[in-house]
Amino acid sequence: MLDVMPTVPTQALIGGEWLNAESGRRFDVRDPATGNVIASVSDCGEVETLAAIAAADAALAAWSAEPASGRARILRRWADQMIERADELAWTLTRENGKPLAEARGEVLYGASYLHWFSEEATRVYGDVIPAPGSDRRIIVTKSPVGVCAAITPWNFPNAMLIRKAAAALAAGCTLVAKPAAETPLSALLAARIGMEAGLPAGVFNVVPGTDAAEIGRVLTSSDIVRKLSFTGSTGVGRKLIAQCAPTVKRLSMELGGNAPFIVFDDADLDAALDGLMASKFRNAGQTCVCANRVYVQDGVIGEFAERLAKRVATLNVGPGDRSGTEIGPLISEAAFAKVERMVSDALARGGRVLTGGAKHPAGELFYQPTVIDGVTADMDVMRDEIFGPVAPVAGFATEAEAIQMANETEYGLAAYVYTRDLGRAWRVGDALAHGMVGINEGVLSSPAAPFGGVKQSGFGREGSRYGLDDYLDVKYMLMGGLSA
């Protein structure tokens, strides 16, 4: 059944125009809750990507010359209109991604909050005047936009992952070509239309949806005009894109995979730790890069904690995202579902024990039961890889040193969480964790005021905060001489 959403654009946005792919090809977008086709979208390739890069290049001079306050006004209007139309955006997001409507609405407001944040930061791109060695000279530092940027974004936060890149890039005076994930192009296209209605000049923000990600990625990364790539996605694809950007020496921001440890000490407030874990682990059915992936609980409380966790998880309401009361929607795809099944089987084969869940949920083909497994060990896939599903593996530990060692035993380094009421321990463990973000007695840590990003193979670059704007600015040094009389 084709259940088209008439208000959502389905063509590419290039230079302010909505265009079909020259090849005439289109691709289907499906609702993961039902498998139904909800839209058919232009399937872009090389021609459209080159056109979008040219449009972004043509728009760059005027956009970067616009006073920051002018850019800020447009970004603020974009944010305000996204908030006004949050229901429409959320509904579209839920239909293509599957997450509960309340979460989708939260994501839209979160995305808009980056436009507000960076509209304010845009007017604070300060430089420096530095005393030179020699009193007849001054060192002057200014910051200028990097230029034409590219953004490749994933399906798990189809609004926010794109908007937080666009907000920083456009605030800095850059122009952008965005490639959203083929699973979820509608959120990006609808947000783009709202941006155009809010006054974005033609070419400043371009969107090329398509199924041949490698081809669009090749064109974006090999272009000499594109001066920066910001990518959110898997570490494997991130590695490829970094290599592809080497010949043209682009600036890069890489927000890659995570394998977040969630550490609960004996002295923790267990109620708060449980609340934090439920929020961190089960948001978006566990499909976030900062999701608690490995739960470590100190030996003194692990029995009580695992039991209480399993009880709460068993009550989670599973169903389609647009049904009232749903807390856990479907997984995004058959591949994602098969991966979760495989990881749980691996854990059970190696001695893990299911406390709740552990199988497909009857709500539909892509629904997995919220699951808790205890008795897990470091060799299991659930501990080594990103699960990206509603599965919480719980392991015990004895000492603080052991917890730190286990938490850092991964090539990833995105988010980590620690629950303790001992202030000294909070600092010690927070300092020792080799992760870009640490939530101490908090399970949700992202906000536009904070620098979001990873270390190690979780990537580099920061989104949000004043550091987020620096990612789209080049530093220029000028030496002013001849000042002596």
Q: Which residues are catalytic?
A: 255, 289
Nearest in space to 121 (alpha carbons), one of 65, 72, 174, 62: 72
CB of 427 to ligand ADP, least distance (A): 34
Q: In this complex, which beta carbon is closest to ligand ADP, that of residue 335 or of residue 485?
A: 335
What is the distance between the alpha carbons of residues 385 and 406, in angstroms, rounded to a whole number? 14
Contact present, 29 and 184 (Cβ < 8 Å): yes
- Continuous H helices in 299-392: 302-314, 334-349, 381-384
What is the distance between the alpha carbons of residues 212 and 210, in angstroms, rounded to a whole number? 6
Among 26, 73, 138, 240, binds ligand ADP (CB under 6 A): 240
Nearest in space to 429 (alpha carbons), one of 402, 399, 404, 455: 404
Q: Does 390 bind ligand ADP (CB under 6 A)?
A: no
Distances (CA, A) of 97 to 225, 230, 270, 320, 321: 32, 22, 32, 10, 9
For 358-445, list the strands marked E by DSSP: 371-374, 391-397, 415-419, 437-440
Q: In this complex, which beta carbon is closest to ligand ADP, that of residue 336 or of residue 394?
A: 336
Q: In this complex, which beta carbon is closest to ligand ADP, that of residue 152 or of residue 285?
A: 152
Q: Which stretch binds ligand ADP (CB under 6 A): 168-176, 234-242, 260-268, 465-473?
A: 234-242
Q: Does 233 bind ligand ADP (CB under 6 A)?
A: yes
CB of 293 to ligand ADP, least distance (A): 14
Contact present, 407 and 398 (Cβ < 8 Å): no
Q: Which stretch binds ligand ADP (CB under 6 A): 130-138, 174-182, 320-328, 415-423?
A: 174-182
Nearest in space to 132 (alpha carbons), one of 482, 457, 424, 479: 479
Q: Which residue is nearest to ligand ADP (CB)?
A: 217
Q: Under DSSP, is residue 58 helix (H, G, I), strand (E, B) or coil?
A: helix
CB of 240 to ligand ADP, least distance (A): 5
What track of x and - describes contact with ligand ADP for positions 202 through 231 (by CB under 6 A)?
A: -----------xx--x--------------
What is the distance between the alpha carbons of residues 410 and 453, in angstroms, rounded to a whole number? 16
Contact present, 329 and 297 (Cβ < 8 Å): no
Which residues, 137 to 156, sit near ligand ADP by CB under 6 A?
Answer: 152-154
CB of 386 to ligand ADP, least distance (A): 9
Q: Does 83 bind ligand ADP (CB under 6 A)?
A: no
Among 55, 122, 148, 181, binds ligand ADP (CB under 6 A): 181
What is the distance between the alpha carbons of residues 150 and 57, in angstroms, rounded to a whole number? 11
Residues at the contact surface with ligand ADP, assessed by CB under 6 A: 152-154, 179, 181-182, 213-214, 217, 233-234, 237, 240-241
